[in-house]
Amino acid sequence: MAAASSSSPSPPTPQPSSVERTKGPTSLEKLVLREARGWSAEVHLYGGQVTSWKNDHGDELLFVSSKAIFKPPKAIRGGIPICFPQFGTQGNLEKHGFARNRLWVIDDNPPPLPVNTAIKTFADLILKPSEEDLKIWPHSFEFRLRVALASGGDLILTSRIRNTNIDGRTFSFQFAYHTYLSVSDISEIRVEGLETLDYLDNLNEKERFTEQGDAIVFEAEVDKIYLDAPPKIAIIDHEKKRTYVLRKDGLPDTVVWNPWDKKSKNTQDLGDEEYKRMLCVEPAAVEKPITLKPGEEWKGRMELSAVPSSYCSGQLDPEKVLQD
């Protein structure tokens, strides 16, 4: 080991990126992704669910409840649950569909995605319906998920859903990345990029309104589906001097949700005060379900960045589109 030096410490030496298969405290299998500069992410095979995203200082950027139940068949409260093929209670299936409480498998031979030299750390999972699933939602599909860490730590989720029905039937589905962001204090958070948009208010019988004001701030429970939302949204945390930048492609809507105090106290797997440290901003396809004919494939992508604050959505180049 080198001798100690009185000079300021040098930055950590980049380590090779890696993906490790391991188990959590309740023996659920997960994959741990580590990027060369020190960023990391964890994805559980149960639910195909990302449950951790840490920056190069080890700060956790996703919220997971201290009361989260890591035991099937309960969905894991926090991280990035995947809502498919139903969002919320907008259908006959269990809330948010069944993808988030099924066991996914590692996809060893996925069809290729466009090459991106900035992405060297990724894991591929796949979900196919079981016989029981086909009884409640009688459609054959392949759902491929890639979870990736870019070289600068951005977290990228790419979903590809293919209709594999052999009887000629189309199917339609809703979808959301139910992203729980970790925040310092919900009352200090601003969301920019959704102003002036129409939204459906789930707390008001899904009535349609138009967002007023320069930004979204939080003073009470919020559960809104913003329609035709832009491809980039900023979530600004003044106290942590951090801004999350969310980019999306193939997902026209954006859901914003915080349960606030009363609903938190009535939610078994959420601490009474934990609503203060979380905000869900969810790229989604809710208002207009996606329809696939046999053999057709849909792709939906989300990229999350965490950057120093002072950033706002108005500084985004609106012409820049998502790159694969």
Query: How many other CB atoms sit within 10 Å of the CB of residue 314?
Result: 10
Q: What is the pLDDT of residue 308?
A: 86
Predicted confidence at residue 180, as pLDDT, reads 98
pLDDT at 176: 98
- Whether 11 is covered by a domain: the verdict is no
Check if 238 is active-site: no
**What contacts 15, CB < 8 A, 6 or more positions away?**
34, 36, 38
Tokens at 184, concatenated: 């310092």
Domain that holds residue 141: 18-308
Q: Map tokens 């079981």 to a residue.
A: 130
Q: What is the pLDDT along the chain (324 residues), one digit of tens a residue?
A: 444 444 444 455 566 779 999 998 889 999 999 999 999 999 999 999 999 999 999 999 999 999 999 999 999 999 999 999 999 999 899 999 999 999 999 998 888 888 787 788 999 999 999 999 999 999 999 999 999 999 899 999 999 999 999 999 999 999 999 999 999 999 999 999 999 999 999 999 999 999 998 899 999 999 999 999 999 999 999 999 999 999 999 999 999 999 998 889 888 889 899 999 999 999 999 999 999 999 999 999 999 999 987 655 445 443 333 444
CA distance 46 to 48: 5
Classified as helix, coil or strand, 227 is coil
* Nearest alpha-carbon partner for 225 in 289, 282, 291, 290: 282
**How many structural domains does the chain have?**
1
Biggest distance spanned by C-alpha atoms of the chain: 72
Of 192, 274, 282, 303, the catalytic one is 282
Q: Is residue 127 part of a domain?
A: yes
Position 279 in a domain: yes
Per-residue confidence (pLDDT) for residue 108, from 0 to 100: 87
Q: What helix, strand, coil percent values describe the chain, rounded to 5?
A: 10, 45, 50
Give catalytic status of residue 282 as yes or no.
yes
∠ CA 37-39-42, rounded to 5°: 145
- What's the pTM value of the predicted model, to 2 decimals? 0.90
- The DSSP annotation for 80-111 comes to B-EEBS--TTSSSSSTTBSGGGSB-EE-SSPP
133: domain CATH number is 2.70.98.10
Selecting among 44, 96, 139, 178, the annotated active-site residue is 178
Q: Is 320 contained in some domain?
A: no
Residue 124 belongs to a domain:
yes
- DSSP symbols for 14-76: P---EEEEEE-TTS-EEEEEE-TTS-EEEEETBTTEEEEEE-TT--B-B-B-TT---STTSPP
